[in-house]
Amino acid sequence: MSEIVLVVEDEPSLQDTLTYNLKKEGYAVEAVGDGRSALEAARRLKPDLILLDLMLPEIDGFEVARVLRKEMTTAILMLTARDDEIDRVVGLEVGADDYLTKPFSMRELIARVKAQLRRTRMLREEMEKIGESVPAHETLKFGNLVIDLTRREVTLKNQPLQLKPKEYELLLFLAEHRGQMLSREFILERVWGWDFIGDSRTVDVHVRWLRQKIESDSANPTRIVTVRGGGYRFEG
């Protein structure tokens, strides 16, 4: 069965070009031109990937991503005309998995789409494997910080934390290598994947978000410490 890609783009010529090129790659494609239709189509289709333009009529791409992220784990690749670091960070924060700044080449777009779908498949397979092999409620405990591997839930002082999927994966990866110095590049490769097109600042941004959620004083972290000239180490 073909993987389903939902294209959300209000500019008709770009919407057509995206649809044409994705269909040529063998994907089942549906295209919509505004945020409201995007939410409706995403809920109906349960796509494998959403290409989401940022500036949209009715409801913008940020809001669409924010709403969908609460409902589904579908990969979201955001398209934006603004090459602005703040947009990137906000986009990642609302739950986009990757970013592409206009103008982009179709070759680059297809490469990113393939990379995201490959990651989705790998994660799905891994989830299935974990589901089979991990006994019920296997947990990692670090004082009042508890990672429930079965439910993919993290609690601090018995309060559940709202972690984005990448934050969870990053925390789990760090926790599984407690006490070891992990370089940004190594973390990027292992948590984001070798084909992730980004840089190690992505790791720093996610570490910052994690610290805000799990450290009692995120300015003076004691759980995830920075190793000078290297990377990060999880102390527990």
- Give the residues lining the site for Ca ion (CB under 5 A): 10, 53, 55
DSSP states of 23-79 as a string?
HHTT-EEEEESSHHHHHHHHHHH--SEEEEESS-SSS-HHHHHHHHHHH---EEEEE
CA torsion sign for 52, 56, 61, 67 is: negative
Residue number, 42 or 115, with CB nearest to Ca ion: 42
Residue number, 30 or 60, with CB nearest to Ca ion: 60
Shortest CB 35 distance to Ca ion, Å: 10
Residue number, 55 or 172, with CB nearest to Ca ion: 55
**Which of 21, 28, 24, 22 has the alpha carbon at shortest distance from 3?**
28
CA distance 19 to 73: 22
Shortest CB 43 distance to Ca ion, Å: 21
Shortest CB 91 distance to Ca ion, Å: 14
Residue number, 56 or 68, with CB nearest to Ca ion: 56
SS3 assignment, position 222: coil
Shortest CB 14 distance to Ca ion, Å: 8
